Amino acid sequence: MMRGRAKLVLEMGEVMAELVERAVLPEVRSSPSDRAGIRFMRAGSRLVVEVEARDGSSLRAATSSVMRWIRLAQELGG
């Protein structure tokens, strides 16, 4: 079985990074899946998202979901 991993490092202003973290973290925590896992961290103005999945489709779906949540948080907060 193929496994997939993705690591996204997003640089933004520190205030925006904190806002996005507060908005997205509950979504990450409340979306349990046996097919993909998501780690979400903030270090100052940098967001780090690590996605691990058991197949390519699950990796794409989980990564797309996180990116949509981040984009939405930026649009609403900015």
Second-level CATH architecture of 4-77: 2-Layer Sandwich (3.30)
Given pLDDT bands bounded at 50, 70 and 90, which one contains residue 3? confident
pLDDT digits (tens, 9 = 90+) for 10-68: 999 999 999 999 999 999 988 777 889 999 999 999 999 999 999 999 999 999 999 99
DSSP E strand boundaries for 27-66 = 36-43, 46-53
Instruction: Report how far residue 55's alpha carbon sits from residue 33's, in angstroms, rounded to the nearest whole number.
Output: 13
Name 56's Cβ contacts closer than 8 Å, sequence gap at least 6.
2, 4
Is the pLDDT reported for residue 2 higher than 80?
A: no
Q: What is the residue extent of each domain of the chain?
A: 4-77
pTM of the entire structure?
Answer: 0.88
Instruction: Report how far residue 51's alpha carbon sits from residue 38's, in angstroms, rounded to the nearest whole number.
Output: 5
Q: What is the pLDDT of residue 34?
A: 84
